[in-house]
Amino acid sequence: MRAALEPEYAVYRADDDSNPGAITPQMISNILSAELIVADISGGNANVFYELAIAHGYDKSTVHLQSEAHHVPFDIRDMRVITYDIQDLDSVEGQRRP
């Protein structure tokens, strides 16, 4: 994902953060200061949906990614989702937009 977004965006992943302290306030602060949110909703991770709800609630620009092996949950089915096939990296490259 980094290659698709940089250098236009400074890419930040929460799991790269080693700062001490409570995770939730840091995560909310990062979402509020972000210009763009990219969320991989594959696998139905509750944390991702929590963070996505915050981003949607603050009307942040979001990109939703999902593996073709999963189904888009009902609650966000009306939103555009970019799918990818992890077994076929050419399919991932094919989703890039100029």
Q: Domains of the chain: which residue ranges? A: 2-93
Closest to 63 (Cα-Cα) out of 40, 97, 91, 88: 40
User: Which is higher by pLDDT, 91 or 27?
Assistant: 27
Cis peptide upstream of residue 25 (ω within 30 degrees of 0)? no
In this prediction the pTM is 0.76
Question: Nearest-CA neighbor of 63 among 85, 47, 87, 84?
Answer: 84
Out of 7-16, 52-61, 77-86, 87-96, the most confident range is: 52-61
* Residue-level pLDDT at 71: 77
pLDDT tens by residue, 20-59 = 888 888 889 999 999 999 998 888 888 989 999 999 999 9
Architecture of the domain defined by 2-93: 3-Layer(aba) Sandwich (3.40)
* Signed CA dihedral, 56, 61, 67, 69: sign only: positive
pLDDT at 28: 92
Instruction: Kindly list the distances between the CA atom of residue 83 and the CA atoms of 15, 24, 91, in Å, as whole numbers in the listed order.
Output: 22, 28, 9
